[in-house]
Amino acid sequence: MKNKLTLVALLLAFTATAQIKIDSANSIIASAHPLASEAGAAIFKQGGNAYDAITAAAFALSVVEPTMSGLGGRLQVIHRNSKGKIKGIDATTQVPLAYVTDPDNQEDGYTTIGVPGMVKGLIELHQTNGKLLLKDVMAPAIAIAKNGFQILPDEVDRLKSVKKDLLQYPSTKSYFLKGDSLPKDGDWFTQEKLATTLESIANDKGESFYKGALAASLIKQVKTGGGYLSWQDMLNYRAVNATLLRGNYRGYEIVTMGLPSYGAIVLEMLHLLSLSDLTSCSEAEFLLTHAKAHELAYEDRKLLKTEEEKIIKIDYAKKRWQDSKNKKNNMLMQDSAAFQNGHTTHLVAADQDGNMVSLTQSLGPTMGSKVASIDGGFMLATTMGPYLGKMVAGERASSHISPVLILKDGIPFMSIGAAGGARIVPAIVQTISRVVDRGLALEKALAAARVFQLPEKLLIENHPAVFWENKNTYEALQITTSKKENVLKPAQFGRVHATIASKSGLWVGAADPDWSGTVNGKKNHN
């Protein structure tokens, strides 16, 4: 009952300020939480475009999924507006200028906290492309934080996994625990301080977040805890234009982003796959070819900082593929510990005007640094420490985050991305290939079995709900793959959200069935 009351309150909040009514039947928002998707869908109904809707959903996710992303985290987004202009925004967290390498190499805590980027990124995205006022777009997130919501089982599980760490930080403990007890499935959860922070951002377009009393409080808290954040870091932070990278796959134009995104690895994998016939082969051969392309491309991650342009060229892919046939596998991928599933969130939106957005935001590992802002009510991301490897002052956090747009003959076709740490890139690529090569509907492509190539073995997704094109595929993989592990737990191979243009010209959206996500507030939309 409380959930229904909250949604009614959200809709009433809109009617006081937004009077435009449009047909939103051809507008899509897909995100990792039902309330976030409903927030975006409500914005569409009030006359907003894809930029308004995705901004509403992104801020709502910072409320309902605090373990995954939030105001103290990072964001990368690629978007195409109704005039056909494609741009990317890099709003990743940045290493403070005073940072020195931590000899203890702490995995969380104040020494891992960088400059937050999500707020700058979302404001930039909305202010340059949205139609509605920011305060109207942020109304759903503010209402949910203020009025509360029921915590989903997924969120409870993530909180349980880091409870020991959360107990170390009084501010985090006060927000998420009652005494030493975590919330349970279905518990009602309100966040008054976060609501106040969101209201400030809505009123001043984020100025107070980086320049006001909240910024002063955050800097003081981090420094007192032994971290490096300063006024100079906060005042000078900018959301910047990302480098766009382009490739071609079977006649589809793939547009993604360069570092700190891993878009180059997406393109390399697709170019490697383009050298094989994946349409008429068996599903087992399809997956094993993906595993090989994954292995080769991931070996090249070490080249991203110096030879990013080289590895996205088709001639390079041809040479890599041929060389792999002529010599024994050298297994140059990182060890298994580097291939953690990760915790991030991805969302997509598209509208009847041709606007198309793919956005990923993250705190890094579950609940980031494990430190919450004392006065702001939000979690702070992990930037430095062992999670992302060696970092230097001023550097931005590179990660497997890889939002992608796809066009066919210049016309918008798909927006896609994923959450899941190192699992992000192969999840995106396998989904694209399932649609383009195997002809699967988007919903089936997201549900289809995925593989992930570790240095020492192949991981094969095989939980009860997974979709196989052929009932014999799983047995074929068992026979042909000597070093393997069958993974029964859901959501271990990336969590994908995507939109696609149907043959009728209408947008279709899909949320990864392994997760709690929805499309326009419903599980999937066709």
Q: What is the widest separation between alpha-carbon atoms in the chain?
A: 68
State what percent of residues in the chain have pLDDT above 70: 91
Nearest CA to 186 among 37, 435, 1?
1
CA 478/CA 222 separation, integer angstroms: 51
Nearest CA to 373 among 191, 521, 155?
191
Burial category of 164 from C-beta neighbours within 10 Å (exposed 0-12, middle 13-18, buried 19 and up): exposed
pLDDT reported for residue 1: 35
Is a pLDDT exceeding 90 seen at residue 501?
Answer: yes
Per-residue pLDDT tens over the stretch 244-260: 999 999 999 999 999 99
Is a pLDDT exceeding 60 seen at residue 10?
Answer: no
Per-residue pLDDT tens over the stretch 353-369: 999 999 999 999 999 99
Give yes or no for a cis peptide into 260 (omega within 30° of 0): yes
Q: Considering only residues 340 and 16, tell me which one the structure prediction assigns the higher pLDDT.
A: 340
Nearest CA to 14 among 139, 195, 146?
139
The reported pTM is 0.93
Is a pLDDT exceeding 70 seen at residue 525?
Answer: no
Average of pLDDT values for 365-389? 94
Measure Cα distances from 62 to 138, 363, 394, 469, 502 in Å: 11, 10, 25, 36, 31
pLDDT reported for residue 327: 64
Q: Where are the alpha helices (DSSP H) in 205-262?
A: 207-211, 213-224, 231-236
pLDDT reported for residue 322: 93
Is a pLDDT exceeding 80 seen at residue 2?
Answer: no
The interaxial angle of helices 283-299 and 473-480, nearest 10 deg, is 50
DSSP 3-state of 69: coil
pLDDT reported for residue 104: 75
pLDDT reported for residue 401: 96
Average of pLDDT values for 138-149? 97
CA 93/CA 234 separation, integer angstroms: 11
pLDDT reported for residue 414: 97
pLDDT reported for residue 19: 32
Can you list the positions of beta strands (E) in 153-213? Answer: 188-189
DSSP 3-state of 501: strand
**pLDDT classification of 342: cutoffs 50, 70, 90:** low
User: 54: part of which helix (H) or strand (E)?
Assistant: helix 50-64
Cα torsion at 22, 23, 28, 33 (round to 10°)? 70
Domain locations in the chain? 2-241, 244-340+403-525
Is a pLDDT exceeding 50 seen at residue 103?
Answer: yes
**pLDDT classification of 228: cutoffs 50, 70, 90:** very high
- Single-letter code of the amino acid located at 52: D
Per-residue pLDDT tens over the stretch 434-458: 999 999 999 999 999 999 999 999 9
348: number of Cβ within 10 Å: 33
State what percent of residues in the chain have pLDDT above 90: 82
Average of pLDDT values for 225-234? 97
With vertex at residue 119, the alpha carbon angle to CA 114 and CA 121, rounded to the nearest 5 degrees, is 95
CA 172/CA 368 separation, integer angstroms: 11
Q: Are 379 and 165 in contact (CB under 8 A)?
A: no
Q: Tokens for 49? A: 């475009």
CA 354/CA 495 separation, integer angstroms: 25
**pLDDT classification of 524: cutoffs 50, 70, 90:** low
Is a pLDDT exceeding 80 seen at residue 165?
Answer: yes
Which residues, 6+ apart, have CB-to-CB distance to 82 below 8 Å?
49, 353, 354, 355
pLDDT reported for residue 328: 54
Per-residue pLDDT tens over the stretch 272-304: 999 999 999 999 999 999 999 999 999 999 999
Average of pLDDT values for 109-129? 97
Can you list the positions of beta strands (E) in 15-73? Answer: 28-31
DSSP 3-state of 327: coil
Topology (CATH) of 244-340+403-525: Serum Albumin; Chain A, Domain 1 (1.10.246)
**pLDDT classification of 24: cutoffs 50, 70, 90:** low
pLDDT reported for residue 388: 85
Average of pLDDT values for 390-406? 95
Which residues, 6+ apart, have CB-to-CB distance to 53 below 8 Å?
27, 29, 40, 41, 43, 44, 349, 351
